[in-house]
Amino acid sequence: MHGRQVKAGQKVIFWWASGNRDERAFDSPMRVNLMRSPNRHMSFGQGGPHICLEMWLARLEVRVLFEELAKRISSIEPDGEQKFLRSNFIGAIKELPLRVVMQ
């Protein structure tokens, strides 16, 4: 596997959380880049047999959330260090301090 031999009985860890941060698939995978193209990420189980049946609803909900938020705030900017969740299952931001100025 990728130039390494896995011998019978050896354990292999499945590192799910790294899937969308694979440097062989994405340039600067740790960088948030909303304009990334192509962007063959695996969120919502894309590329697998259990693709999220309601990812379109979930995307709509997030779009409406940000559209409504954008109407109510005048600025939003980082206000401290972001912290990633320590997990081999879910890749997520645990803390992201923000300074939000309301209109």
Residues forming contacts to ligand HEM in the complex (CB under 6 A) are 44-45, 48, 50, 52-54, 57-58
Closer residue to ligand HEM in complex, CB, 16/99: 16
Residue 55 C-beta: closest distance to ligand HEM, Å: 6
Closer residue to ligand HEM in complex, CB, 60/70: 60
- Residues 6 or more apart in contact with residue 67 via CB below 8 angstroms: none
Closer residue to ligand HEM in complex, CB, 3/48: 48
Task: Choose among 75, 80, 93: nearest CA to 21.
Answer: 93
Q: Which bin fits 24, alpha (ψ -120 to 50), beta or left (φ > 0)?
A: alpha
Residue 26 C-beta: closest distance to ligand HEM, Å: 18
